[in-house]
A and B are shown apart, each in its own frame.
Chain A
Amino acid sequence: MTSQVSSPADKTDGALAGEPCTPATENGAGKEVRRLDRVIIRFAGDSGDGMQLTGDRFTSETASFGNDLSTLPNFPAEIRAPAGTLPGVSSFQLHFADHDILTPGDAPNVLVAMNPAALKANLADVPRGADIIVNTDEFTKRPMAKVGYVTSPLEDGSLEAYNVHPVPLTTLTIEALKDFGLSRKEAERSKNMFALGLLSWMYHRPTESTEAFLRQKFAKKPDIAEANVAAFRAGWNFGETTEDFAVSYEVAPATKAFPTGTYRNISGNLALSYGLVAAGRQADLPVYLGSYPITPASDILHELSKHKNFGVRTFQAEDEIAGIGAALGAAFGGSLAVTTTSGPGVALKSETIGLAVSLELPLLIVDIQRGGPSTGLPTKTEQADLLQAMYGRNGEAPVPIVAPKTPADCFDAALDAARIALSYRTPVFLLSDGYLANGSEPWRIPEVDELPDLRVQFATSANHELADGTEAFWPYKRDAQTLARPWAVPGTPGLEHRIGGIEKQDGTGNISYDPANHDFMVRTRQAKIDGIEVPDLEVDDPSGDADTLVIGWGSTYGPITAAVRRVRRAGGQIAQAHLRHLNPFPGNLGAVLGRYDKVVVPEMNLGQLATLLRAKFLVDAQSHTQVSGMPFKAEQLAAHLEEVMKQGPKEAIND
């Protein structure tokens, strides 16, 4: 089991596990305990095996222990794909460390394979020398034949390069639960908790929270709760007693990685939901969510529907169009309006987004991007909606775009998107993705009084003097600085007005087909978005001598930053920048791009940001793309960056 030990000097995300081990100690049971600085574990099994739950629990234990962590749930779109098949494999990868880390890791140090399909589907990602814990009970003729194993990989030598731990998980679980009077099938279902217990022992995880969790989850079925607790403990005890597991590991809390504060573990969708609730409070406006269920965005609808005591209204609409329609109606009425969806839903909402652009009302459009086109890969990640968000409407219909970079950052990004929507009276895209949505990391819980003030002033009185001296309310008379129009909500006496999707006369908002007025209005709407205040782009260029800049947006932040660390550790000089605002771009972006000979743009699409950068700044941005539905691996990305850095300025070739 030495494979898991990495040298303290090699604190790089996704680095291959290093050689030397720190001094071993012995615990009370006479077993060796080793210290590691980081570990990557992957739980893999059938869709029905409860791997996501197992991973969530291990994550929770790890978070409360104080490690830094990053997770990657990976599951099929089918709720229960045919049992034992490759398409039915569901996995959960967790990277945890005693220092700050940025990604869920490239390659697992430990693979838990609940069946032959899980082994086969995941083996290619497991480096030689890693530990593989297999449920031997499932390695019988039929399950193996189902995935094309002619001989047992546990016996035919094909796993010789790995440290295989054969454990009859099913048998042991059934044995542990024999006094519970459960059927074989019922007892078998707790085998994931047995596995969790075993891994919790191996890594010295605190167990109280999992036991409490199980008792709460099965509060109505105390027998099942106790059976799961018993299986969990049996797994722990199995590790403690069996000789096959001779070593356990400690990964110290990442105390130095974090600034002072109170922390919790949080997923992107949860952080985003909290950001919306917080935005409502900071704006002193009721939140109204109009939404239609869609993977991977539905969790936001679920979460917000729990917070009615914050005055949050959630409306599950008949379709995507009604979801945004209701939100827009609520915006007209003075709510902080939100619609949540994924790429296919954005396509359906496009016309209403155009209406919101024309009405100039605040509206948040949350797009949790997934693999496309069409239905695509509902449960996998991608960044291929950037150009849809940017341009996917009829007419000139500019919409600001904000993109979070990590799961916890979804909170701040939601507040920022709300700020723009409310101050500039405009729909705003918040572009998250499946990787951020379901992945999790520690989050320093902000103090509520640190949060930005988002309060807005509704119009309350006439704003224009007519030629004859009478006072009038002009719904399209703009603020000189922001170009925002007044937000006059129904119920305000004297400000009765009509707005609509037909072109409006500047100022009065009355229907106008005048050519010059249309030209003016199109340019003014664009100028309003172009003039949105966004902070300058920060560049991380420690030496100041780099001639290559790597620039990304959204969830690639983790892998890009991890890759940059690798490059620098190997002596390379490279600059890094990450865009939160895709529309408008930061004011200094052109100057930043101009400072570097080579600009590399890694994206999980076919080069959408690169296209925008080239078009806007005439920069020879090199696109580096991956659309596998999975995040970049730091090691591969680092290798690419090093490749680019070796090229002369003219040799750069896009791939």
Chain B
Amino acid sequence: MTETIAEGAAQIEALSLVPKAEAKQSMKDFKSDQEVRWCPGCGDYAVLAAVQGFMPELGLAKENIVFVSGIGCSSRFPYYMNTYGMHSIHGRAPAIATGLASSRRDLSVWVVTGDGDALSIGGNHLIHALRRNVNLKILLFNNRIYGLTKGQYSPTSEVGKITKSTPMGSLDAPFNPVSLAIGAEASFVARTVDSDRKHLTSVLRQAAAHPGTALVEIYQNCNIFNDGAFEALKDKEKAQEAVIRLEHGQPIRFGAPAEDGLGSKGVVRDPATGDLRIIDVTQEGTAGVLVHDAHNPSPTTAFALSRLADPDTLHHTPIGVLRSVDRPVYDTLMSDQLDAAIEQKGKGDLATLLAGNDTWTVVG
């Protein structure tokens, strides 16, 4: 199990230590023999298909890919992937995956989790994985409801949600997972939608290439307990006004096309408050419109973008990669310390260790 690949710099490509597949792979290679048991019409099917479809692109030896999940509907995901996998316990997948990834840098480790799993019972592990920047790709399926326990409100449900456990409406203010992740020092944060295969795949591709922890929030429809939760983002007409598609290096524009072909709405910084606001570029011009910089070392603008969405209507929801910055990767640092220790002290010798400095001898 000891690593033989030596490399000096802490900054490496996320997948450079993972062996490559010997032959060309297809989507079929990543389907396990297990029958998929989600409810018909569940958004999870679309995500599973997107992941299985995108995996061959990475060209990694599939025995070096591991999916680790917690508990919840989405956490059944590893059973359907023909890779190594562990369906663990509620909320703990990031902790388990941290141990795996930090001891085995030759693996590509993915965490599949949900809004209850990652943000409620497992909130602590999520934020600490993000701040450490362990080489994990975390797919957070957010359906804004507890599905497996049959329909209680979740930490991302809107205030006042009527559910089985909140007949008079839920009282707690929801988390915005993207804001939370940025606040937790995440080096890569993205959001995408289950039904937009192309966008989803493009975000997964960027996440896979990111060295360190990548958090991808996937808005996912639960057609049984919270059907239509993201309809505002999916309905062709409404989506144009509701969704802000972020692309690095591009002006942040959305809405019905203006004369230049880009959206007629734009995001600008209010010089008085420093906050972001939305303008009609046909009225106010395009001069102040921000150009999206996912690689900005400061998380301020990414955070401000994450706050544009209205938690109730989801209007002005940014999707795409909000933040992608280089930061030392935990498992690399850990491994470097092992190398440094050997360099400084030599490879450990057990007899010397056991003897210590202060011994005496008894002669029979």
- A residues whose Cβ falls under 8 Å from a Cβ of B: 60, 63-66, 209, 255, 258-265, 274, 277-278, 281, 285-286, 288, 290, 307-311, 313, 315, 317-319, 321-322, 325-335, 337, 351-352, 354-355, 359, 445-448, 489-502, 510-511
Contacts and interface: CB of A to CB of B under 8 A. Distances in A.
A498 B341 contact: no
Given A307-B348, A333-B103, A491-B61, 12 more contacts: A258-B362, A264-B358, A311-B338, A318-B125, A321-B125, A325-B99, A325-B125, A333-B1, A333-B100, A355-B88, A448-B351, A498-B85
20 contacts: A259-B362, A261-B362, A263-B359, A263-B360, A263-B361, A263-B362, A274-B354, A311-B2, A315-B334, A317-B128, A326-B95, A328-B96, A329-B95, A329-B98, A333-B1, A333-B103, A333-B104, A490-B84, A498-B32, A501-B89
A277 B348 contact: yes
B96 A496 contact: no
Contacts of B362: 66, 255, 258-263
B360 A63 contact: yes
B346 interface: yes
Interface in B241-283: none
B83 A500 contact: no
Given A277-B348, A322-B125, A496-B62, A491 B78 contact: no
Contacts of B82: 496
Contacts of B100: 329-330, 332-333, 490
B68 interface: yes
A351 B104 CA distance: 24
Nearest to B106: A491
Contacts of A354: 89
A354 B71 CA distance: 15
Nearest to B343: A309
A446 B360 CA distance: 13
A103 B303 CA distance: 61
B236 interface: no
B356 interface: yes
A152 B128 CA distance: 56
Given A66-B360, A274-B354, A334-B104, A321 B95 contact: yes
A322 B1 contact: no
Nearest to A333: B104
B354 A278 contact: yes
Given A445-B355, A498-B32, A309 B99 contact: no
B112 to A, nearest CB: 12
Contacts of A495: 63
A307 B86 contact: no
A290 B99 contact: yes
Nearest to A499: B86
A355 to B, nearest CB: 5
A309 B364 contact: no
A310 B79 contact: no
A68 to B, nearest CB: 11
Interface of B: 1-2, 19, 32, 34, 61-66, 68, 78-79, 81-89, 92, 95-104, 106-107, 124-125, 128, 334, 337-338, 340-342, 344-348, 350-351, 353-356, 358-364
B355 A264 contact: yes
A286 B350 contact: no
Contacts of B345: 309
B32 A313 contact: no
Given A325-B125, A493-B61, A262 B68 contact: no
B126 to A, nearest CB: 10
A327 B97 CA distance: 10
Nearest to B344: A309
A495 B17 CA distance: 20
Contacts of B99: 288, 290, 315, 325-333, 337
B350 A281 contact: yes
Contacts of B101: 329
Can you list the 4 inter-chain pairs with the closest CB atoms, starting with the nearest? A500-B87, A329-B99, A326-B99, A325-B95
A54 to B, nearest CB: 17
A558 B92 CA distance: 41
A359 B86 contact: yes
Most A CB atoms within 10 A — which of B62, B84, B347?
Answer: B84
A135 to B, nearest CB: 29
A490 B107 contact: yes
Contact of B353 (A307, A331, A335, A351): A307
A499 B344 CA distance: 40
Contacts of B95: 317-318, 321-322, 325-326, 329
A326 to B, nearest CB: 3
A561 B239 CA distance: 79
B148 to A, nearest CB: 12
B353 A274 contact: yes
Contacts of A331: 99
Contacts of B107: 333, 490-491
Contact of A498 (B86, B89, B353): B86
Given A308-B337, A315-B99, A445-B354, A500 B79 contact: yes
A496 B55 CA distance: 15
Given A317-B95, A333-B104, A496 B83 contact: yes
Nearest to B340: A308
A492 B1 CA distance: 11
Given A261-B361, A308-B337, A329-B98, A334 B83 contact: no
A501 B350 CA distance: 37
A322 B103 contact: no
A307 B96 CA distance: 23
B1 A334 contact: yes
Contacts of B338: 308-309, 311, 313
Given A321-B92, A493-B61, A329 B2 contact: no
B89 A351 contact: yes
Contacts of B34: 498, 510-511
B79 A498 contact: yes
Nearest to A274: B354
Contacts of B62: 496
Contacts of B363: 260
B348 A310 contact: yes
Nearest to B346: A309
Contacts of A65: 360
Contacts of A259: 362, 364
Nearest to B67: A498
